[in-house]
Structure 1
Amino acid sequence: MPNRVSPGIVNVTDFVAAHAKKFGSYINYIDRDEAIRIDHFDQQNILSVDGYNHYMENPKKSSGIFTDQYDHLTPTQRVE
């Protein structure tokens, strides 16, 4: 009997056409002043607080920071 694998996450979405009222509501929601990244860049910029990188370097939470070219980054590569 083959091993069975159950997905850890199941993502279900509905398609909404661009001319639908629901789509317009979504655009209005993401375009509101408090959601625009440029207006809140200092609060949301990952490089200014480096929270993501510190999280990824925590050995209890991850095996380290990686890129499309390297599985693990050296401190010098991380700064670059």
Structure 2
Amino acid sequence: LLNKEYDDAIKKFSEALKINPHDPELYYYLGLAYEGSNKIKEAVDMYEKTLRLDKTFSNAEMRLNKLTAKMQEGAGQKKENGKEK
């Protein structure tokens, strides 16, 4: 992730989850990789899975809230642009 090799990270974390599907950190890091690849829906899904496994995982909650706000903001802008036409 530090080298911004997100596609490689997505593959590696996905493989690790097959071995250990109950590790919230793996879902969190997979979410970061998806977010880095601009795959926002997938990132949101991973952060939600992280929180299902560990409700106290504050970094996942913070990232999820940020992405949700960004998605809502984007949806609002699309609506405004649609009204202007």
TM-score, normalised on structure 1? Answer: 0.25
Determine which structure has the larger helix proportion and give its number. 2
TM-score, normalised on structure 2? Answer: 0.24
